[in-house]
Amino acid sequence: MALSTGSLLAGRYEITAPIAVGGMGEVWKARDQILDRIVAAKVLKSEFTGDPSFLARFRNEARHTAGLTHPNIASVYDYGETVDDTGTQQLAFLVMEFVEGQPLVSILHDEGALPVDWTLHVVSQSADGLSAAHRAGVVHRDIKPGNLMVRPDGVVKLTDFGIAQARDATPLTRTGMVVGTAQYLSPEQAQGMEVNAASDVYSLGVVAYECLTGARPFDGASQVAIALAHINRPPPPLPSHVPAAVRLLVERALAKDPADRFPDGGAFAEAVRRVAAGGTLAPVVGPGTMPTQIVAADALENSRTQVISVTDATAVAGVGAVGPRTGAVAPMPPLHAADDDEEWGPEEEPGDRRRGGRAKWAWLAAALALVLLLGGGAWWLLGSGDRGRDDQAGATPTPSASSTAPTGLFLDPDLFIGEPADAVEAELTAAGLTVTQVPADDDVLADVEENLAAGDVAGLDPEGVQAAPGDTVTLYVAEEAYSPEGDEVPAPATSEAPTAEPTREPTPTP
pLDDT tens sequence across 234-249: 999 999 999 999 999 9
Asked whether the beta carbons of 329 and 123 are under 8 A apart, the reply is: no
Q: What is the mean pLDDT of the chain?
A: 72
> How many C-beta atoms surround the C-beta of residue 356 within 10 A?
20
The whole-number average pLDDT for the span 256-284 is: 90
Q: Is a pLDDT exceeding 70 seen at residue 228?
A: yes
Mean pLDDT is highest, among 198-212, 418-432, 474-488, for 198-212
Instruction: Give the global pTM.
Output: 0.60
Domains of the chain by residue range? 8-99, 100-372, 409-477
**What's the topology of domain 8-99?**
Phosphorylase Kinase; domain 1 (3.30.200)
Q: In whole angstroms, give the CA distance from residue 158 to residue 103.
A: 10
Q: How far is CA 180 from CA 28, 142, 349, 450, in A?
A: 25, 5, 14, 21
> According to CATH, what is the number of the domain 100-372?
1.10.510.10
pLDDT at 1: 54
Q: Is a pLDDT exceeding 50 seen at residue 471?
A: yes
Reported as a pLDDT band with limits 50, 70 and 90, residue 9 is very high
Mean pLDDT is highest, among 145-149, 223-227, 242-246, 439-443, for 242-246
> According to CATH, what is the number of the domain 409-477?
3.30.10.20
pLDDT at 164: 55
Q: In whole angstroms, give the CA distance from residue 462 to residue 404.
A: 25
Reported as a pLDDT band with limits 50, 70 and 90, residue 227 is confident
Reported as a pLDDT band with limits 50, 70 and 90, residue 166 is low
Encode 460-486: b = buried (16+ Cβ within 10 Å), e = exposed: beebbbbbeeebebebbbbeebbbeee
pLDDT at 44: 84
pLDDT tens sequence across 199-208: 999 999 999 9
Reported as a pLDDT band with limits 50, 70 and 90, residue 475 is very high
pLDDT at 282: 62
Catalytic annotation, pick one of 32, 142, 219, 414: 142
Question: In the annotation, is 117 catalytic?
Answer: no
